[in-house]
Structure 1
Amino acid sequence: MFIREEGYARLHRSAAAKSRAHINLDGQKQWPTDRSGASGVTMPNGSAFAQNEAYLELCNPGWSLQWRAGIGNLYVILPALFVIWFWYGMTIHPVLFGRLIFFWHPFSDFDVGDLIFGWVLGFPLALASTLLIYMWLFRMGMRTCFFTFARGRIRFNRLTRKVYVLRPGYCGGNVVLEWERLVALFDPQSTNRWDKQDVAMLALYHSPFDATDPTAKGEDCLFVGSAVTGPQGAAHLWEYIRQYMETGPTIDRIPPDAPANFKGVARYLHPDYTTYCGLPSSHQYRQECRPGFMETFFHMSSQMTCSWPRFPKEWQSDSGMGEPDDRPVQTGAVMTALVYRAQGRLSKADEVELMERYGTAEALAEARARTN
């Protein structure tokens, strides 16, 4: 789901001032990379694809709400198409083929009154239905849930000091940004009530290369991580990212008695903070997001049309660590590694390493006793 990305990119193509209003750029404080904005750090559950010594890779918002696009098609697209078909069968089809279609049943006998009835009643309804489909898919952004990338991937690389982003072309496209040029926005909610979202999030704004450039070349905005608890949650996520980029992992695990203002970045993320790197099965999606059966069904109806984005090799964005979906244990893709283990896809050495970090003594002994 790329609703916020699509809205920002669409408005930016129209005018930079509109895209800035969309994220409330001038209505809030901007936090550069050398300022925290929060006394502590927080990683929302299901936000990180991977974390290691080279990079921290996070998702974009909206994954847990993508099922709404599927259920919306049932209540928006299908009824609208049904109305359009009714108008076609009463007006266009008789002219082309000499018979009227009332919904699905053909009639050979019809007169001018039937055509007039179809145009007078059916045309306004068909026009409204067409507008409704357009608004649903394009203005409300639901087309970003079908036949595109399944999720956005934002990779913060400590070694190159760059941020690598994967997203659909009409949502801004793949891009590489300089870390030091980013500023954080904790409340990127549009002042336009039609653009309001019920999901609080962190936005990272990249200013144009030349402030006087009317085309605002280089200007961009990233929406990072899962939903957060308002501006405070966005501030704590920003501080986590900032601490990672500036100091890197400083401790193996966060101590249970850590104070609220603790800012250490753990080397081994808790599995709850991570998310599956790839297209999950319905079972994995239910396990991670914990939705009901119907939400899962409608989510999968959206996901099955999508593909998984991969970072271009020429970017070398992994800095030698490898990709999370290829080397989940080495890259700190914990949720992915756990799923691979359940599927029997981990080597013995990888499983032992994984259990040494996250498993029980019994699970570690079982991994070491493997014969292959």
Structure 2
Amino acid sequence: MFVRENSYWLAWRRTPQKGRAHINLEGQKHWPAQRSGARGIAMPGRAAYAQNDAYLELCNPGWDLQWRAGMGNLFVLLPALVLIWMWYGLAVHPLLFDQIIFFFVVSDRVSSTDLWLGWFLLFPLALASAFMIFAWFHYMGMRTCFFTYARGRVRFNRLTRKVYVLRPDYCGGNVVLNWERMVALFEPEGTSASAKQTIKALALYHPPFDPNDPSAQGEDCVFVGPGLPGPQDAAYLWEYIRQYMEVGPSVDHVPADASATYKGIARYLHPDYTTYCGKPDARQYGLEQKPGFMETGFHMMSQATCSWPTFPKKWKSDSGVGEPEDRPVQAGAVMTALVYRAQGKLSKADEIEFLQHWGTAEAQQEATSREE
């Protein structure tokens, strides 16, 4: 789901000024890559695809709400299509074939009453239905849930000092941004009444290369991590990203007695903070998101039409570590490695290495003694 990205780029394409107003750029404090107002750091649950000494890769917001697109189609798309079909059957089809279609029943008895009903009653409803379908997919962003990328990927590479972003073309497209130019926004949704219905998330703003350029070349806004409760959580996530980029992993694991102001970045990220890098099956989605009644089914309906985005090889965005999908253990893609291990996809060497950092001594001993 790319609802936040879709709405921003719809506004920006009207004018860059509207795009800036959409993310509340002038209504809040800006936090550049050199500093942050957060006293501590925090990684939200199910936010990271991978973390290692070269890059930290995070998701974009909306994955946990994507099921709403599938459910919404039942209440928006289906009724609208029925009304359009009824208008066609009672108004258009009789003029073309001298027959009427009432739902799926075809009749040669065409009356003026049917035509009047079709054109004067159903035609306005059909027009309204067509606009509703357009608004649902275009303005409300539901097109970002079907026949596009399954999820967004934002990779922060501390070696190249770049931020690599994967997203649909109509949401800004794939892009490489300079880390030093990024500015964090903790309240990109603003404070208006309508903002309460907006997915809250950390936004990273990339200013235009030339502030006097009316076309605002280089201007961008990247929404990072899952949906968050509020600006304080966005501040903690920003400080986590900033500490990772500026200092890097400094400890193997965060101490159990770490204070609220502790800012050390763990080299081996806890599984609870990671998410599967790829299109999960229904069981994996349920494990991670703990959905309610029927939510998994609607989510799978949406996901089934989507493809998994991959970073262009010419970018060399992995700095030689490898992609999370291909080398989950080396890339620090913990959830992906757990899934691969359960499916028997890890080699013995990778399984042993994985258990050294994320497993128990007993599991490591069992893996070591097991024949391939």
Q: Distance in 1 between matches of 2:192 and 2:16?
A: 15
- Residue 97 (structure 1) aligns with: 97
- Residue 255 (structure 1) aligns with: 255
Matched, 1:139 2:139: yes
TM-score w.r.t. length of structure 2: 0.98
Post-superposition CA distance 1:240-259 (Å, at most 9, x none): 00000000000000001000
State the Cα distance separating 1:192 from its structure 2 match: 6.6
- Residue 115 (structure 1) aligns with: 115
- Residue 370 (structure 1) aligns with: 370
Post-superposition CA distance 1:255-308 (Å, at most 9, x none): 010000000000000001000000001111001111134100000000000000
1:191–1:36 CA distance, 2 compared to 1 (3 A): closer
- Match of 2:62, as an amino acid? G
The answer (yes or no) to whether the contact 2:27–2:190 under 8 Å persists in 1 is no
Post-superposition CA distance 1:59-108 (Å, at most 9, x none): 00000100000000011100100010010000011111111011111111
- Residue 341 (structure 1) aligns with: 341
Aligned pairs for 1:162-241 (under 5 A) are: 162-190=162-190, 197-241=197-241
Matched, 1:149 2:165: no
- Residue 55 (structure 2) aligns with: 55
SS in 1 for 2:71: helix
The answer (yes or no) to whether the contact 2:64–2:289 under 8 Å persists in 1 is yes
- Residue 23 (structure 2) aligns with: 23
Aligned pairs for 1:33-44 (under 5 A) are: 33-44=33-44
1:192–1:84 CA distance, 2 compared to 1 (3 A): farther
- Match of 1:305, as an amino acid? T
State the Cα distance separating 1:191 from its structure 2 match: 6.2
The answer (yes or no) to whether the contact 2:240–2:265 under 8 Å persists in 1 is yes
Q: Distance in 2 between matches of 1:91 and 1:193?
A: 42
Q: Distance in 1 between matches of 2:234 and 2:197?
A: 15
Q: Distance in 2 between matches of 1:190 and 1:18?
A: 13
1:195–1:124 CA distance, 2 compared to 1 (3 A): farther
Post-superposition CA distance 1:101-128 (Å, at most 9, x none): 1111111101222101111110111111
Q: Distance in 2 between matches of 1:70 and 1:151?
A: 16
Aligned pairs for 1:55-94 (under 5 A) are: 55-94=55-94
Q: Distance in 2 between matches of 1:292 and 1:360?
A: 32
SS in 1 for 2:258: coil
- Residue 354 (structure 1) aligns with: 354
The answer (yes or no) to whether the contact 1:249–1:265 under 8 Å persists in 2 is yes
The answer (yes or no) to whether the contact 1:21–1:191 under 8 Å persists in 2 is no
TM-score w.r.t. length of structure 1: 0.98
Q: Distance in 2 between matches of 1:32 and 1:117?
A: 61
The answer (yes or no) to whether the contact 1:148–1:305 under 8 Å persists in 2 is yes
State the Cα distance separating 1:155 from its structure 2 match: 0.4
SS in 1 for 2:214: coil
Compute the RMSD of aligned alpha carbons.
Answer: 1.1
- Residue 288 (structure 2) aligns with: 288
- Residue 270 (structure 1) aligns with: 270
Q: Distance in 1 between matches of 2:24 and 2:191?
A: 7
Q: Distance in 2 between matches of 1:300 and 1:292?
A: 14
Q: Which stretch shows the higher mean deviation, 329-338 or 6-15?
A: 6-15
Q: Distance in 1 between matches of 2:3 and 2:190?
A: 13
The answer (yes or no) to whether the contact 1:149–1:306 under 8 Å persists in 2 is yes
- Match of 1:224, as an amino acid? V
SS in 1 for 2:294: helix
**Poorly superposed stretches of 4+, deviation over 4 Å:** 190-196
The answer (yes or no) to whether the contact 1:22–1:195 under 8 Å persists in 2 is no
Q: Distance in 1 between matches of 2:142 and 2:192?
A: 18
Q: Distance in 2 between matches of 1:366 and 1:104?
A: 63
State the Cα distance separating 1:362 from its structure 2 match: 2.2
SS in 2 for 1:56: strand
Q: Distance in 2 between matches of 1:315 and 1:54?
A: 14
- Match of 1:156, as an amino acid? F
- Match of 2:284, as an amino acid? Q
State the Cα distance separating 1:195 from its structure 2 match: 6.4
- Residue 46 (structure 1) aligns with: 46
State the Cα distance separating 1:229 from its structure 2 match: 2.4
Post-superposition CA distance 1:119-154 (Å, at most 9, x none): 111011111111111111111000000000000000
- Match of 2:69, as an amino acid? A
State the Cα distance separating 1:44 from its structure 2 match: 0.2
